[in-house]
Amino acid sequence: MGIMSRTPLIAGNWKMNLDHLQAIATVQKLAWTLKDARHDFDDVEVAVFPPFTDLRSVQTLISADKLPIRFGGQDVSRYASGAYTGEISGAFLAALDAAYVIVGHSERRMMHAETDQIVAEKTAAAVQHGVVPVVCVGETSEDRESRGAGVVPVEQLQVVLDAVQPAEIVVAYEPVWAIGSGQAATPDQAQEDCGALRRAIAGAWGDEAATATRVLYGGSVKSGNIAGFMREPDIDGALVGGASLDVAEFAAIARFRQHVGL
Ligand code: PGA
């Protein structure tokens, strides 16, 4: 795991699952499960990323019950406001106390034609509104074979780093073949790429930013494989999709120190 100054982040990307009523039940259950297990949220941060229609309900629950769980959106508009039907402003996320927002998830890059430039603009919009962007980058197995490990994700991140002034961001390395496939990258592969991403941050924003920035691994993370990733020096947490919908499993991932002795 990364040096102690970086608090590990276990982030649950629900994708298009769970409506607002299911969201309330899920967050409540997650909070109880982690509380029962005496989870130290200052030691390992836990965040959920529900669909937009759930966010107000999740915010209300978290603030009323003072739950130590953080939350974010799954996407954000490049624009602050205006005639952009269907878009959600970073200002709206900030007004809901969203701590984070995912930008550039590979599903959006592929299905919504989000380019590196758009991802950079969305990152800038999130930063501008005080919401920490979780910038997703990734590569296909062909990219990795033909271009080399980490080359494509570093190129994707470089566009963001060049366009945005140094700020708090989280980077998530998610190899496309590993997402939702049950075939996670190996810890070695993930470390190779996460290390390359951290070096890119150092090159663009300086060593201090590189040391402070959390780099997550994502792609078929489960309680059974989180340990291997968290032992790597440049992996500071996980972006969890499918397994984040199962409260017991997600809580076990968040509690990686207990079952791996880290
Ligand atoms: P997965 O998804 O954990 O279901 O592989 C990860 C992600 O897409 O963020």
What domains are defined for the chain? 3-260 (3.20.20.70)
pLDDT of residue 2: 46
Ligand 1 contact via 138 beta carbon (within 6 Å): no
Kindly state the tokens that stand for 11: 């982030």
Tokens 């029962």 identify what position?
A: 36
d(CA 30, CA 26): 6
Taking the model in full, what pTM does it have?
Answer: 0.97
pLDDT of residue 77: 98
User: Known catalytic residues?
Assistant: 105, 174
Ligand 1: nearest atom to the Cα of 172: 9
66-71's contacts with Cβ under 8 Å and 24+ in sequence apart are 67/27, 67/31, 68/31, 68/41, 69/27, 69/30, 69/31, 69/34, 69/41, 70/45, 70/46, 70/99, 70/100, 71/27, 71/47, 71/98, 71/99, 71/100
Per-residue pLDDT of the chain (262 residues; tens, 9 = 90+): 444 589 999 999 999 999 999 999 999 999 999 999 999 999 999 999 999 999 999 999 999 999 999 999 999 999 999 999 999 999 999 999 999 999 999 999 999 999 999 999 999 999 999 999 999 999 999 999 999 999 999 999 999 999 999 999 999 999 999 999 999 999 999 999 999 999 999 999 999 999 999 999 999 999 999 999 999 999 999 999 999 999 999 999 999 998 755 5
Q: Quick count: other Cβ atoms within 10 Å of Cβ 84?
A: 12
**Residue with CA nearest ligand 1 atom 3:** 241
Comparing C-alpha atoms, which of 184, 243, 193 is closest to residue 17? 243
pLDDT of residue 259: 73
Contact criterion met (CB below 8 Å) for 257 and 8: no
Q: Quick count: other Cβ atoms within 10 Å of Cβ 260?
A: 14
Ligand 1 contact via 180 beta carbon (within 6 Å): yes
80-84's contacts with Cβ under 8 Å and 24+ in sequence apart are 80/125, 80/128, 80/129
Mutate to test the pocket of ligand 1, among 14, 139, 179, 225 (most ligand atoms within 8 A of CB): 179
Contact criterion met (CB below 8 Å) for 127 and 169: yes
Ligand 1 contact via 184 beta carbon (within 6 Å): no
d(CA 85, CA 195): 39
Ligand 1: nearest atom to the Cα of 220: 5
**Residue with CA nearest ligand 1 atom 6:** 241
Q: Kindly tell me the sign of the dihedral angle through the C-alpha atoms of 29, 31, 36, 41.
A: positive
Mutate to test the pocket of ligand 1, among 174, 217, 225 (most ligand atoms within 8 A of CB): 174
